[in-house]
Chain A
Amino acid sequence: MLGATSNAAQSLDGGRGRQPGAARSLLLIDCGSAFTKAALVGLVESRYRMLASVSVPTTLAAPQADIMLGVRNAMSEIERITGRVLMRAGQPIQPEDEDGAGVDLAVLVSSAGGPMRLMTLGPGRESLAMLLQRALSGLFIQLETQQLPPPDAPLSESDLHRLAANLRAIQPHAALIVGSPTQLPGNAIASTAQSVARAIDLLQPTAMDVSYPRPPGLPVIFTGAPPDAQVVATTLQGRTNVQSVEALSPSTLSPLTRAVSALYESCVLREAPGYAALRRMVAAPPLATVTSLGGVARFLAHHFQMNVVAVDVGANSTELAGATAKGEFLPALHPTAGVGAGSGQLARAVGADSILRWIAAPIDEDDLREYILTHMLRPRLLPATPLALEIQYALAREAIRLAMHAPGTRMAGLHPMDIVLGTGGVLAHVAHPADAALVLLDGLQPRGITSLVLDSAQIAGMLGNLAMVSPDIAAALSSTDAVPLLLGSAISIHGDAPDGQLALRIVMEFLDGRQEEAEIASGTLVRLPVAPGDRVLLSLYPAPNVDIGLGPGQHARSSEPVEGGVLGLIVDARGRPLLLPSDPEMRVQQLRAWRKALRGESES
């Protein structure tokens, strides 16, 4: 389950408390860039259940520059909600004592501090680009491809000044030199290593640095032939640590994946003020949230034998984790595009018009820029008005689309998406469940039948790392508290039926014998009344040019009953790709009509 081993579970407890499997209580912590989420898990009638979950501001910047402050605030909040004591004199109580105070285990995932910025260099960077992308996909990293001048290039003082300024703007956490599977002729590797040596020297902090200089040194990973590895190690000796891994080939991707993944904690998390105290508290090495979320998607795909997509739209980053019933893992993320501090990057990537098209209100680019810059300046600010909330939803849609189509990802080709799990602050905190459903449908544009599930407690992202410590507890929570709210099953069609014409006829057979029929017009979004807990067998009769996943006009009958959710059964007959009217007034009317339909509001 989730790639965990019992050896890992036994060795990671740090000898502090009980064996993970025997833990009576756990604290799950997710330190995000803007908010720290925490959940208390305990035994309820011999089953592990979530007892409380909270979200408080992350404390990374002065005047509260201590990540543990936020964690303590979260624990205080849980104490207030549950009445259970978790700390004494501000210190976490571990393990749980005889009075039931404290917790046996704590588990940490994090995206605080942002992605690891990895500068890639070397002669293999372009020629092995596809393999490199596969090896690094799903890791919380941002690849930087700064060109470094060759060591023998004559550089004036101003050239060096400019190079130093560029490197400092990138602020790389580590460098990856990509060599070739066979020793390269000439001095290409030596030259790259010498350029890296110069970059390390240029990145040395000085007394004149305005603020927060990075600690000296730039860890280097080399992938390539062993003789070339020796050249790199010798050249950089005394300047930094060099880790060499096997050369990249289709069958040797994992050594590089592991090496880069292992650097995340040492290069990113350890820079967070107060991290040492937090690290002492947790049972296992922390994982990046996206890595942990991937574990959950894989578990759910394996457990239900279905294709699963987990979606986490954050303030700084957007993470999608896809997993298929066959065991394939399809991660897709944008490490620096989100709806808060990452909204500037998102707007640069997709353009203002792409965001504005989703907003059903008169708004111009200045309003959008003001929203984006204000949320970059005040990372903890949530939308303060209905219009601001609509802008956030629009950003979320585009963030999902951007991550889904990121270079090297195969998520866009995943059909059907049987289960879509929404998590993270934007989706968990919506004004109406229909808003989350619309963001997911518009962003992912699934085809066929999809169960839309919302992790309103925001714990799904933590379970992947919990599984490394205690697979059984993670499994118990994955099928209960991480999927507490079924928004509804959505039937999404694609095809050429003109708007307003019949696109799909649906016959619903309820398990109590009732039978109902509905006709759905093309271009509409409809909620059919299937209450939470009710299950229906579906017979779907699409129009000749309409496809529900089996080919144009092919009708289908569900082999398993489909469950209703808080939004009933959703039929998305808007087609794929989803096209919005080009006329601004019609577009606004259309967006409002879809929102009203999904919210169950009348047209008046």
Chain B
Amino acid sequence: MSNLALDYPLGRPIAPSITVRRRRPLPQGAVLRVQTGDGVSALQPIAEIATQNGRVPVLAGIDGRVIAVTPGKGVIIEGVATLLQGLVGLGESAAGPLAFLPQGESPAVALIPRGAILVYPQRAPLTLLQRAAAHGAMGVIAASASALELESFARADISAFLEQRIPLAVPGPLVVILTEGLGDAAMQMEMQTLLRRREGEMALVNGTSHPRQNVRPEVLLSRPDLAVGEYVPPPVLLRPGAIVRVAAGARRGMRGMIRHVPAHMAVDAAGLRTRCATVELDTGERVSLPMHLLDIIG
């Protein structure tokens, strides 16, 4: 593999400290401000692009080192960062400071800080996405969204985009990342807490989603997050001891630990005979859940 190839730690981790290599794409005509080998900080412009409002800087987004520059295509930066993955996203690469809406304020009227990456730990209404794009936000990290509203915002059939059949152009440069997916789900508490702790810091977000290759949208924060503890890749098999989160159904979003994997199959809530695991949820409840519903998170 080329040493320029990009690396994507997969499996939807929350990795407090991980070395990543990322491309910051640049449009035709961008004027480069860095060269290979340069050290860069997240806030540093790596290029300038001409717009109707004059020259606009393109920020590095993460601290690191420039390892490749291709005029007209982009700059590849390698650095150490905190990484969070979502389930699905729109848009490519964008950088900006993390910002939360004021507590209790409606997304229909709240002030949208220009250039920010907005964090909205619930289901994002269409109004929020539209206002974020209109007010010059760089990104929205939300827990979930209605499928139709997301498609309405993107003005595209997202299924075709997920199949990589069509390139997706979102309004403006806005990147959207849904951490839990479609429908109505709240952001997992661990991720919410981490983002809240890093409010105001520069984030590099990328909405690229290739589910067939398990490439997920991501948020990168330059300073390793020591409060979360050392990153240990989760196990790949659903076995007793694995920490899991329920991906769908009535207990969607709940967390727990697998206590037992019975040898026999059982009839699940849908009426299908499937392999199930006995999971002790964080609430203390012990339930039998189909294994296809369980995401391993630790």
> B50 interface residue, CB < 8 Å from A?
no
> Are B272 and A369 in contact, CB atoms less than 8 angstroms apart?
no
Q: Give the chain A neighbours of B211 by CB distance below 8 A.
A: 341, 376-379
> B293 interface residue, CB < 8 Å from A?
yes
Expressed in whole angstroms, the Cα–Cα distance for A337 and B169 within the complex equals: 25
Expressed in whole angstroms, the Cα–Cα distance for A158 and B72 within the complex equals: 11
> Are B272 and A389 in contact, CB atoms less than 8 angstroms apart?
yes
> A601 interface residue, CB < 8 Å from B?
no
Partner of B146 from the list A370, A372, A380, A388 (CB cut-off 8 Å) is A370
Q: Give the chain A neighbours of B28 by CB distance below 8 A.
A: 157-158
Output the least CB separation between B6 and chain A (Å).
6
> Are A369 and B292 in contact, CB atoms less than 8 angstroms apart?
no
> Are B159 and A385 in contact, CB atoms less than 8 angstroms apart?
no
Q: A207-B4, A211-B210 are in contact. Are A373 and B147 (CB under 8 A)?
A: yes
> Are B6 and A386 in contact, CB atoms less than 8 angstroms apart?
no
Q: Give the chain A neighbours of B166 by CB distance below 8 A.
A: 169
Output the least CB separation between B205 and chain A (Å).
15
Q: Given A366-B147, A381-B292, 19 more contacts at CB 8 Å?
A: A61-B212, A171-B164, A206-B73, A208-B23, A211-B8, A341-B212, A344-B163, A347-B159, A366-B149, A370-B147, A374-B182, A377-B162, A378-B211, A381-B247, A382-B292, A384-B248, A384-B270, A386-B271, A429-B273
> A383 interface residue, CB < 8 Å from B?
yes
> Are A369 and B151 in contact, CB atoms less than 8 angstroms apart?
yes
> B290 interface residue, CB < 8 Å from A?
yes
Give the residue name and chain of the B residue nearest to A435 (CB): B271
> A261 interface residue, CB < 8 Å from B?
no
Partner of A431 from the list B159, B162, B271 (CB cut-off 8 Å) is B271
Output the least CB separation between A375 and chain B (Å).
9
> B172 interface residue, CB < 8 Å from A?
no
Give the residue name and chain of the A residue nearest to B150 (CB): A373
Partner of A374 from the list B8, B248, B268 (CB cut-off 8 Å) is B248
Output the least CB separation between B88 and chain A (Å).
5
> Are B159 and A386 in contact, CB atoms less than 8 angstroms apart?
no
Expressed in whole angstroms, the Cα–Cα distance for A16 and B144 within the complex equals: 53
Residue numbers of A with Cβ under 8 A of B are 60-64, 80, 157-158, 165, 169, 171, 206-212, 336, 341, 343-345, 347-348, 365-366, 369-370, 372-374, 376-386, 388-389, 429-432
Partner of B271 from the list A212, A336, A389 (CB cut-off 8 Å) is A389
Give the residue name and chain of the A residue nearest to B167 (CB): A165
Summarize B's interface: helix, strand, loop or mixed.
loop
> Are B165 and A169 in contact, CB atoms less than 8 angstroms apart?
yes
> B38 interface residue, CB < 8 Å from A?
no
Residue numbers of B with Cβ under 8 A of A are 2, 4-6, 8, 10-11, 23, 28, 68, 70, 73-74, 76, 87-88, 146-149, 151, 157-160, 162-167, 181-183, 208-215, 233, 236, 247-250, 263, 268-274, 290, 292-293
Q: A61-B213, A211-B215, A344-B162 are in contact. Are A169 and B167 (CB under 8 A)?
A: yes
Q: Could you name 10 residue pairs across A and B whose Cβ atoms are closer than 8 Å?
A: A63-B10, A64-B236, A211-B8, A344-B159, A370-B183, A374-B181, A377-B88, A377-B182, A379-B211, A384-B248
> Are A376 and B208 in contact, CB atoms less than 8 angstroms apart?
no
> Are B164 and A377 in contact, CB atoms less than 8 angstroms apart?
no
Expressed in whole angstroms, the Cα–Cα distance for A406 and B34 within the complex equals: 54
> Are A376 and B167 in contact, CB atoms less than 8 angstroms apart?
no
Nearest 6 A/B pairs, CB to CB: A344-B159, A431-B271, A384-B249, A369-B147, A207-B4, A61-B214
Q: Give the chain B neighbours of A61 by CB distance below 8 A.
A: 10, 212-214
Give the residue name and chain of the A residue nearest to B151 (CB): A369
> Are A373 and B163 in contact, CB atoms less than 8 angstroms apart?
no
Listed residue (A63, A344, A380) with the most chain B CB atoms within 10 angstroms of its CB: A63
Partner of B70 from the list A80, A208, A432 (CB cut-off 8 Å) is A208
Q: Give the chain B neighbours of A165 by CB distance below 8 A.
A: 167
Partner of B74 from the list A208, A345, A366, A370 (CB cut-off 8 Å) is A208
Output the least CB separation between A64 and chain B (Å).
5
Q: Give the chain B neighbours of A208 by CB distance below 8 A.
A: 4, 23, 70, 73-74, 76
> Are B247 and A389 in contact, CB atoms less than 8 angstroms apart?
no
> Are B2 and A386 in contact, CB atoms less than 8 angstroms apart?
no
Expressed in whole angstroms, the Cα–Cα distance for A212 and B5 within the complex equals: 9
Expressed in whole angstroms, the Cα–Cα distance for A432 and B236 within the complex equals: 32
Give the residue name and chain of the A residue nearest to B238 (CB): A57
Output the least CB separation between A386 and chain B (Å).
6
Q: Give the chain B neighbours of A169 by CB distance below 8 A.
A: 164-167
> Are B164 and A211 in contact, CB atoms less than 8 angstroms apart?
no
> Are A80 and B263 in contact, CB atoms less than 8 angstroms apart?
yes
Q: A208-B74, A370-B147 are in contact. Are A378 and B270 (CB under 8 A)?
A: no
Give the residue name and chain of the A residue nearest to B293 (CB): A384
Q: Give the chain B neighbours of A206 by CB distance below 8 A.
A: 70, 73
> Are A380 and B23 in contact, CB atoms less than 8 angstroms apart?
no
Give the residue name and chain of the A residue nearest to B248 (CB): A384
Q: A344-B157, A365-B148, A429-B272 are in contact. Are A378 and B23 (CB under 8 A)?
A: no
Give the residue name and chain of the B residue nearest to A114 (CB): B212
Q: Give the chain B neighbours of A336 by CB distance below 8 A.
A: 163
> Are B182 and A370 in contact, CB atoms less than 8 angstroms apart?
yes
Expressed in whole angstroms, the Cα–Cα distance for A251 and B159 within the complex equals: 41
Q: A341-B211, A366-B147, A374-B248 are in contact. Are A382 and B270 (CB under 8 A)?
A: yes
> Are A62 and B214 in contact, CB atoms less than 8 angstroms apart?
yes
Give the residue name and chain of the A residue nearest to B22 (CB): A210
Q: Give the chain B neighbours of A378 by CB distance below 8 A.
A: 87, 181, 211, 247-248
Partner of A385 from the list B23, B157, B270 (CB cut-off 8 Å) is B270
Give the residue name and chain of the B residue nearest to A347 (CB): B159
Give the residue name and chain of the B residue nearest to A171 (CB): B164
Give the residue name and chain of the B residue nearest to A432 (CB): B271
Q: Give the chain B neighbours of A374 by CB distance below 8 A.
A: 181-183, 248
Output the least CB separation between A422 and chain B (Å).
16
Give the residue name and chain of the B residue nearest to A376 (CB): B162
Give the residue name and chain of the A residue nearest to B210 (CB): A211
> Are B214 and A383 in contact, CB atoms less than 8 angstroms apart?
no
> Are A373 and B162 in contact, CB atoms less than 8 angstroms apart?
yes
Output the least CB separation between A169 and chain B (Å).
6
Listed residue (A165, A373, A376, A388) with the most chain B CB atoms within 10 angstroms of its CB: A373
Partner of A345 from the list B11, B163, B183 (CB cut-off 8 Å) is B163
Give the residue name and chain of the B residue nearest to A157 (CB): B28
Output the least CB separation between B105 and chain A (Å).
26
Expressed in whole angstroms, the Cα–Cα distance for A425 and B272 within the complex equals: 11
> Are B249 and A385 in contact, CB atoms less than 8 angstroms apart?
yes
Partner of B6 from the list A211, A370, A381, A389 (CB cut-off 8 Å) is A211
Q: Give the chain B neighbours of A376 by CB distance below 8 A.
A: 159, 162-163, 211
Expressed in whole angstroms, the Cα–Cα distance for A47 and B269 within the complex equals: 39
